[in-house]
């Protein structure tokens, strides 16, 4: 009998748990964050999640939200798993979200077609589908400030600069060490195009996802092929392993450059002093010495509202979360300006994102001078193809090693447009852009 009671209780519990959750209050803006603090990629996911959360909390604490409207920030745990991402999306969808931050290439791909139907724009900051930068084809998807293809082109520019000019690239060998999933394969088309153009040889070293921490063979291959430069497009536990392996075979560390997702402090730290010289692309400031981070410290960290370990405050991925949250906030602000409404919804934010124009003056106002480059999105350009710079590991910390560099937009843009066209062709019935182009007033 007891067991039956337990069973009945369990059944009741299950039934009760499906009762609809209370809808977000009308006088606040609902900002969902899909994050992953668990699973094999948690190491990269935690600082980003905390950075985003802390910045938005800071806005609530310091300014009382955006334009006088409080933000309701809610995290949904995806564990970097597409299955859970889909579940999260369904939870978020009904609560009138202003936008979606999927934080996983797989989930992003899944949601791209849905964005237009459900009227929820996707902000995939420097990840996801590169072709989404073409706003005429993907009005609901945004990937500022740069795409993977921009990033790879900056890497090639950096190589050219160190080698003494683009013409010196001829005959050089460039290796791409990448996580063997769609995310990792992203830069291949661009690097192939550039290798044809500049005559360098491209060597590919795929690392299977389940072999992330077992890269012996790839680095043996690298020892054999002796590439002059290496570009690392890895994620999670793959990066520190790659850095360590590189130091092991005595690869010249200053000839190894990681994409921005391979630029976590933890990625380089494992290599320690031997990893000195390892580089990573970056598009925001490093360290806690920016007014905006001091504000976060004052309003969020010191008041105990942050979950992030204090000693890691200001690390690279944390700041990336802050940058991402800044984009969210600025998009909401722009949406309020464009539409004149206080409480904006997904459709308004889409307009806001297209009208996003973060000037030098605005950056200064936000306490982000030198933290980020000015960003200007347009209806056709959803990426901005913004400037990035390169960080260098000095053994214990990252240091800025180059100035802000512009990507090769002339190479990247036509490729992106071709890719977008290809996407439309393959997805017959892809809707033509019907959304009017709103300009900032």
Binding residue (CB under 8 A) for another protein from 24, 28, 61, 86:
86
Angle at 277 between CA 274 and CA 278, to 5 degrees: 90
Cα-based distances in Å from 364 to 106, 294, 297, 374: 35, 14, 18, 10
Nearest distance in Å: CB 263, another protein: 15
Q: Tokens representing 200?
A: 């360098």
* 76 CB-contact burial (10 Å; exposed 0-12 / middle 13-18 / buried 19+): middle
The stretch among 159-167, 221-229, 335-343, 345-353 that binds another protein (CB under 8 A) is 221-229
Nearest in space to 237 (alpha carbons), one of 40, 82, 39, 80: 40
Nearest distance in Å: CB 290, another protein: 23
Q: Does 187 bind another protein (CB under 8 A)?
A: no
What single DSSP character describes residue 298?
Answer: I
Site string for another protein, 305-344 (x = CB under 8 A): --x-------------------------------------
Nearest distance in Å: CB 376, another protein: 26
Nearest distance in Å: CB 262, another protein: 14
Nearest distance in Å: CB 439, another protein: 28
Nearest distance in Å: CB 51, another protein: 14
Q: Does 2 bind another protein (CB under 8 A)?
A: no
Site for another protein in 232-251 (CB under 8 A): 236-237, 240-241, 244, 248-250
Element at 176 (helix H, strand E): strand 173-179
C-alpha to C-alpha distance for 292 and 286, rounded to whole angstroms: 12
* Total site size for another protein, rule CB under 8 A: 86
Nearer to another protein, 275 or 338 (CB): 275
C-alpha to C-alpha distance for 44 and 36, rounded to whole angstroms: 9
User: Do 391 and 319 form a contact (C-beta atoms < 8 A)?
Assistant: no
Site string for another protein, 7-46 (x = CB under 8 A): ------xx-xxx-xx-------------x-xxxxxxx-xx
Residue showing tokens 């310091």: 62
Site for another protein in 95-124 (CB under 8 A): 105-106, 109-118
The stretch among 80-88, 191-199, 297-305, 401-409 that binds another protein (CB under 8 A) is 80-88
C-alpha to C-alpha distance for 282 and 54, rounded to whole angstroms: 20
């Amino acid at each position: 009998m007891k067991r039956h009671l337990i069973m009945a209780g369990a059944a009741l519990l299950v039934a009760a748990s499906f009762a609809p959750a209370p809808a977000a209050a009308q006088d606040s803006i609902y900002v969902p964050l899909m994050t992953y603090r668990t699973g094999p990629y948690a190491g990269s996911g935690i600082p980003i999640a905390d950075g985003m959360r802390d910045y938005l909390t800071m806005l609530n604490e310091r300014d009382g939200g955006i334009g006088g409207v409080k933000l309701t920030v809610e995290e949904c745990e995806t564990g970097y798993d597409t299955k859970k991402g889909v579940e999260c999306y369904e939870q978020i969808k009904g609560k009138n979200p202003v936008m979606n931050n999927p934080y996983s290439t797989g989930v992003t791909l899944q949601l791209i077609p849905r964005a237009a139907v459900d009227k929820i724009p996707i902000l995939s900051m420097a990840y996801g589908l590169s072709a989404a930068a073409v706003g005429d084809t993907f009005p609901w998807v945004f990937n500022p400030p740069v795409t993977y293809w921009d990033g790879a082109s900056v890497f090639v520019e950096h190589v050219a600069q160190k080698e003494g000019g683009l013409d010196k690239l001829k005959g050089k060998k460039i290796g791409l060490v990448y996580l063997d999933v769609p995310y990792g394969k992203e830069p291949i088309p661009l690097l192939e195009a550039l290798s044809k153009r500049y005559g360098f040889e491209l060597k590919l070293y795929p690392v299977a996802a389940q072999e992330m921490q077992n890269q012996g063979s790839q680095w043996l291959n690298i020892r054999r092929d002796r590439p002059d430069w290496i570009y690392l497009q890895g994620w999670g536990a793959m990066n520190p392993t790659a850095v360590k392996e590189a130091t092991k075979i005595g690869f010249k560390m200053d000839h190894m450059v990681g994409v921005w997702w391979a630029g976590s402090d933890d990625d380089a730290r494992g290599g320690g002093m031997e990893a000195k010289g390892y580089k990573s692309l970056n598009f925001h400031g490093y360290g806690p010495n920016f007014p905006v981070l001091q504000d976060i410290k004052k309003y969020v960290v010191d008041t105990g509202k942050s979950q992030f370990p204090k000693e890691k405050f200001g690390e690279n991925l944390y700041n990336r979360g802050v940058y991402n949250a800044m984009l969210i906030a600025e998009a909401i602000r722009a949406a309020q300006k464009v539409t004149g409404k206080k409480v904006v919804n997904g459709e308004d934010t889409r307009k806001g994102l297209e009208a996003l124009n973060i000037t030098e003056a605005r950056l200064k106002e936000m306490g982000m001078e030198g933290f980020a480059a000015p960003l200007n999105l347009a209806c056709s350009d959803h990426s901005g193809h913004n400037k990035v710079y390169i960080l260098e590991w000095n053994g214990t910390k990252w240091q800025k090693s180059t100035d802000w560099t512009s990507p090769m937009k002339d190479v990247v843009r036509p490729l992106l447009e071709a890719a977008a066209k290809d996407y439309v062709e393959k997805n017959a019935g892809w809707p033509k852009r019907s959304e009017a182009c709103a300009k900032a007033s």
